[in-house]
Amino acid sequence: MTSQGAETGSAGASYAAAGVDIDAGDRAVRLLSPHAKRASRPEVLGGIGGFAGLFSLRGDYREPVLASSTDGVGTKLAVAQAMGKHDTVGRDLVAMVVDDLVVCGAEPLFLQDYIAVGKVNPELIAELVSGIADGCVEAGCALLGGETAEHPGLMEDSHYDLSATGVGVVEADAVLSPDRVRPGDVVIAMGSSGLHSNGYSLARKVLLEWGHMDLGGHVEEFGRTLGEEMLEPTRIYAKDCLALIAETEVRTFAHVTGGGLAENLARVMPRGLMAELDRGTWTPAPIFAMIGQRGRVERREMERTFNMGVGMVAIVSPSDTDRALAVLTARHLDSWVLGTVKKASAESGGEGVAGTGTAVLAGEHPRF
C-alpha cells in the first residue's frame, strides 16, 4: 500500500498543488490596483488591502436612506470567454447593479465585486477589473473593494463568473416609488445599446448553436462581427437618470432587464393604473429581428426575454415631457415618448406582475 507521503511527494502537499495559487492571486492584486484606484470618490477611506472597505457618508443629508442591489452578467460571459475579450463585461456588471439602484432615485456610491475563477490568471483578472473600473467611473461610484476566488475542480481553468453588490443613497422623502405615478403621466423610453446583459442563453442557442454563426464573422446588418455586436456593453443610465431627477419631476423609473419592458414597467405601476405603450414609436435594432426570425421566436417570448431596444424607462409629469427629452438629448441619449399612464380597465389585461399595475404594448414595430 502506498503511503500518503509517497502520494504527495517528499515536499508534502501544498495549496498550489491542490489548484490554488496564492502567489498568482497576489500578483493579480498588484495588477488590478491601479484600475481600482481610479474608480474612487472623496468619501472613500483607506486603500486596497483591508478586510472591509470604508466609506464616509458625508454631505448635508436630512434623512438618508441606503439602497442596495446585487446582480451579475450571466451567460454573456460565455461570449467574452469564447472571444478572449474580457475588458468590457465589467462595464456590464456595473450597469446591471447601478441602473437598478437609480430606479428608486438613489445616487450610486460604491460597488464591490466578486470574481470566481477556475484558475487565477493575473492578466485576465486585471482586464476584468479594468472594465469594472471603467463602469464605476462612468456611473460616478467608487470601486470600494472585492474578492477573487479560485475554484479548482469546480470551474474549468479558463472560466470565470462575475457578480457585484452596489450601495446608493437617497433622501427618504425623495424615494421614487409607484405611489407617485398618476393618470396622464408620460412614459419616456431611453434607447438600449443592444442586447445589454439579458437573454444571452436564447441568443446563443439561436445564433451560435442552431444558426452555426461565427462570432468572428462580419455581419452586414451590424456593420461589425457578431461577437462585437454581442459584446456591446450595457448602457449605464445612472447619471442620465440623476440628471432627470434634478431637472424634471420624475415619478419613477423602470430598468428593463430580465422579464422585458412590460413586466419591468409593471413593477413600478400602482394597482389600478396601466401604462399603454406604442410599439410604433421605435424600431428594435437588427439583432433582435435576427434572433426572432432565425429562431422563429414568438413576439411575446421576444418581448419578455429581451429589452427590444428600450433599456430604461422614465415616468414623468406631463408638463415636464419636453424638458425631459431635452435633458436626455443633451446627454447624447436616444429617447422618445413611449406611451402614457391611464386608469386600468377590466379588459386591459397586460403582461405585468400580479398585485401591481400593468403595462400593455400595442401596435407594431415599423420594419420589424
Q: How is residue 49 written as a grid cell? A: 488591502
User: What mean pLDDT comes out for the span 327-348?
Assistant: 89
Whether the per-residue pLDDT at 4 is higher than 70: the answer is no
pLDDT (0 to 100) of residue 333: 96
The strand ranges marked E within 85-175 are 107-117, 142-150, 160-171
Whether the per-residue pLDDT at 255 is higher than 50: the answer is yes
Tell me the C-alpha distance between 2 and 7, whole Å.
7
14 pLDDT band, cuts 50/70/90, is low
pLDDT (0 to 100) of residue 6: 36
pLDDT (0 to 100) of residue 352: 43
Range(s) of the chain covered by CATH 3.90.650.10: 178-362
273-325 pLDDT, tens per residue? 999 999 999 999 999 999 999 999 999 999 999 999 999 999 999 999 999 99
- For the entire predicted model, the pTM comes to 0.89
237-252 pLDDT, tens per residue? 999 999 999 999 999 9
User: What mean pLDDT comes out for the span 131-154?
Assistant: 93
User: Which CATH architecture group holds 19-46+56-174?
Assistant: 2-Layer Sandwich (3.30)
Range(s) of the chain covered by CATH 3.30.1330.10: 19-46+56-174
8 pLDDT band, cuts 50/70/90, is very low
Are 198 and 74 contacting, i.e. CB atoms less than 8 angstroms apart? yes
Are 206 and 287 contacting, i.e. CB atoms less than 8 angstroms apart? no
Are 56 and 45 contacting, i.e. CB atoms less than 8 angstroms apart? yes
206-249 pLDDT, tens per residue? 999 999 999 999 999 999 999 999 999 999 999 999 999 999 99
* Position with higher pLDDT, 26 vs 41: 41
**How many percent of the chain have pLDDT more than 90?**
70
Homologous superfamily in CATH for domain 178-362: PurM-like C-terminal domain (3.90.650.10)
